[in-house]
């Protein structure tokens, strides 16, 4: 299915330093990354003071021209000596006490290694998780500011404790690894970040537990009237980037997250390339990549198969470019949900191009809550192939988790779907049948919306 759709949405539709003698330093030889996502840093040009050309003397038959002589110490026949880029300063987490046997708590070693890497004055510092180890760490925030160019390189396996029963009581149950207040940081490698999420998915308060319990006739796992059982239901996002800019994430395998695999909050200038993200189809709320209050985001050349949205785009997201991404099993690529609890939501300039969505409940979706405000604009879906997808494109201004939401008169504008804030300026080509038919959509912007302050975004 090839779809080109441009939408204007307003609001209701359904300290150690690297240097000689420093512990943990080694030479680093890059390995090729899966997915071709590697980024190469080349060396700079040759530096030095410029040599001025000699003045040309006036023409005089009695004066012989003077041959300019090279500066002292340079032989004209010698080729220019290229400036070699400095080798990166590599800090192996084992040098700071990490064991990597899959059971030892290596948290403190990682914190010490990060402290040293962040304090390094090298132009290229690498914190290395070596390929021959499985490292377990508890909830940790790796914060800056650090010098730009810092690389967190995972070649081995990195994972959290195995489920909620092993989670330290004092640790945050809503996030595992957080990268905060960083500029010019890269997370990459040929290794795996394993989320150990199964026991989190199976908490009795998770919605899918009722369906599974009914299938196996295990009524002990079902609450009154077929509801989920009460209990703590917070589950950690695996990798969160917060208030950072100029970020690169590439080449990793990330799987079985307790909840979202990646979350970008309050960031700018993000490039995601060559990731493989995998969780079972029945894993709840395991969005592959979630973007919120973040601008200038590129998500390229990645494969995502999970139990919820392949990519989800929340409020405050601008200039998001998604290309050459393959999604499977989950709920497709979603903008929203937006406007929950009568909030204002703004999303603009999102492009999905040359994508493939297979074996999914949904393909491309925009979902907003009744009662919300704001707008969604500049949305382009171009050349998206869908195979075995139940709902190819959904624009839902009545999004509601339990289908018991009250009808409200404001929303986030999508045309002739709501009588107060309809959709407008939708262009479709080569479309399949739609519900309702495209011909019923309103042409132009309703007069009541032109000066509505609730719909204003930047």
- E strand segments, 85-236: 89-92, 101-105, 125-129, 134-136, 140-143, 151-154, 157-159, 175-180, 186-188, 192-194
Q: What is 4-20+86-197+235-455's CATH superfamily?
A: Single-stranded right-handed beta-helix, Pectin lyase-like (2.160.20.10)
DSSP 68: P
The encoded tokens of residue 401 equal: 């988790």
331 has catalytic annotation: yes
- pLDDT per residue rounded down to tens, the chain (458 residues): 444 455 444 434 443 345 433 344 444 443 333 333 333 333 333 333 333 333 344 444 443 444 444 444 444 445 555 666 668 899 999 999 999 999 999 999 999 999 999 999 999 999 999 999 999 999 999 999 999 999 999 999 999 999 999 999 999 999 999 999 999 999 999 999 999 999 999 888 886 544 444 443 444 444 444 455 555 588 999 999 999 999 999 999 999 999 999 999 999 999 999 999 999 999 999 999 999 999 999 999 999 999 999 999 999 999 999 999 999 988 999 998 888 887 888 999 999 999 999 999 999 999 887 777 888 888 888 899 999 999 888 887 667 766 666 676 565 644 323 533 445 666 666 656 666 666 655 555 555 555 565 556 77
Task: Give phi and psi for 134, each to the nearest 5.
Answer: -120, 115
- Residue 419: its pLDDT value, please? 35
CA-nearest of 274, 231, 228, 268 to 252 is 274
Rounded CA separation 420/239 (Å): 39
- Residue 15: its pLDDT value, please? 36
What is the b/e burial string over 84-100, where b = at least 16 CB atoms within 10 angstroms of the residue's CB? eeeebbbbbbbbbebbb
- Residue 423: its pLDDT value, please? 55
Rounded CA separation 446/458 (Å): 20
Rounded CA separation 333/323 (Å): 12
The encoded tokens of residue 45 equal: 């040009």
**Catalytic residue from among 40, 331, 341, 413:** 331
Taking the CA atoms of residue 448, residue 451, residue 457 and residue 458 in that order, the dihedral angle to the nearest 10 degrees is 150
Assessment of whether the complete model's pTM goes beyond 0.85:
no
**End-to-end C-alpha distance for the chain, whole angstroms:** 33
Task: Give phi and psi for 215, each to the nearest 5.
Answer: -60, -35
* Range(s) within the chain of domains with CATH label 2.160.20.10: 4-20+86-197+235-455
- Residue 370: its pLDDT value, please? 76
Return the bridge partners of 303, or none: 276, 326
Distance of CA 405 to the CA centre of its chain: 31
């Amino acid at each position: 299915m090839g779809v080109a759709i441009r939408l204007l949405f307003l609001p209701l539709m359904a300290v150690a330093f690297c240097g000689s003698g420093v512990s943990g330093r080694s030479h680093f030889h890059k390995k090729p990354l899966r997915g071709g996502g590697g980024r190469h840093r080349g060396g700079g040009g040759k530096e030095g003071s410029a040599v001025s050309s000699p003045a040309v003397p006036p023409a005089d038959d009695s004066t012989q021209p003077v041959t300019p002589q090279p500066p002292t110490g340079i032989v004209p026949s010698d080729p220019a000596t290229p400036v070699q880029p400095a080798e990166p300063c590599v800090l192996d987490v084992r040098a700071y006490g990490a064991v990597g046997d899959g059971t030892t708590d290596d948290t403190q070693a990682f914190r010490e290694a990060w402290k040293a890497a962040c304090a390094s004055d090298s132009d290229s510092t690498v914190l290395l998780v070596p390929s021959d180890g499985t490292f377990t760490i508890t909830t940790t925030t790796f914060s800056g500011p650090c010098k730009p160019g810092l690389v967190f390189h995972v070649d081995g396996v990195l994972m959290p404790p195995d489920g909620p029963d092993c989670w330290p009581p004092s640790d945050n149950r809503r996030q595992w690894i957080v990268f905060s207040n960083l500029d010019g940081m890269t997370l990459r490698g040929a290794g795996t970040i394993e989320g150990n999420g199964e026991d989190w998915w199976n908490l009795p308060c998770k919605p899918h537990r009722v369906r599974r319990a009914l299938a196996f006739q295990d009524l002990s796992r079902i609450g009154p009237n077929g509801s989920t059982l009460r209990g703590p239901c917070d589950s950690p996002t695996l990798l969160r980037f917060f208030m950072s800019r100029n970020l690169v994430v590439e080449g990793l395998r990330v799987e079985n997250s307790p909840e979202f695999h990646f979350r970008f909050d309050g960031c700018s200038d993000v490039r995601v390339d060559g990731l493989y993200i995998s969780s079972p189809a029945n894993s709840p709320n395991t969005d592959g990549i979630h973007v919120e209050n973040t601008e200038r985001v590129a998500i390229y050349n990645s494969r995502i198969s999970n139990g919820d949205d392949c990519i989800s785009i929340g409020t405050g997201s601008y200039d998001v470019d998604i290309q050459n991404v393959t999604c499977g099993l989950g709920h497709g690529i979603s903008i929203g949900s937006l406007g929950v609890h009568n909030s204002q939501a703004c999303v603009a300039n999102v492009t999905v191009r040359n994508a493939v969505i297979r074996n999914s409940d949904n393909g491309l979706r925009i979902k907003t809550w009744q009662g919300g405000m704001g707008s969604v604009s500049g949305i382009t879906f171009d050349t998206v192939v869908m195979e075995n997808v139940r709902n190819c494109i959904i624009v839902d201004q009545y999004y509601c988790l339990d289908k018991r939401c009250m009808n409200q008169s404001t929303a986030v504008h999508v045309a002739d779907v709501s009588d107060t804030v309809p959709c407008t300026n939708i262009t479709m080509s080569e479309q399949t049948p739609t519900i309702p038919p495209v011909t019923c959509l309103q042409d132009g912007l309703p007069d009541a919306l032109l000066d509505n302050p609730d719909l204003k975004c930047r």
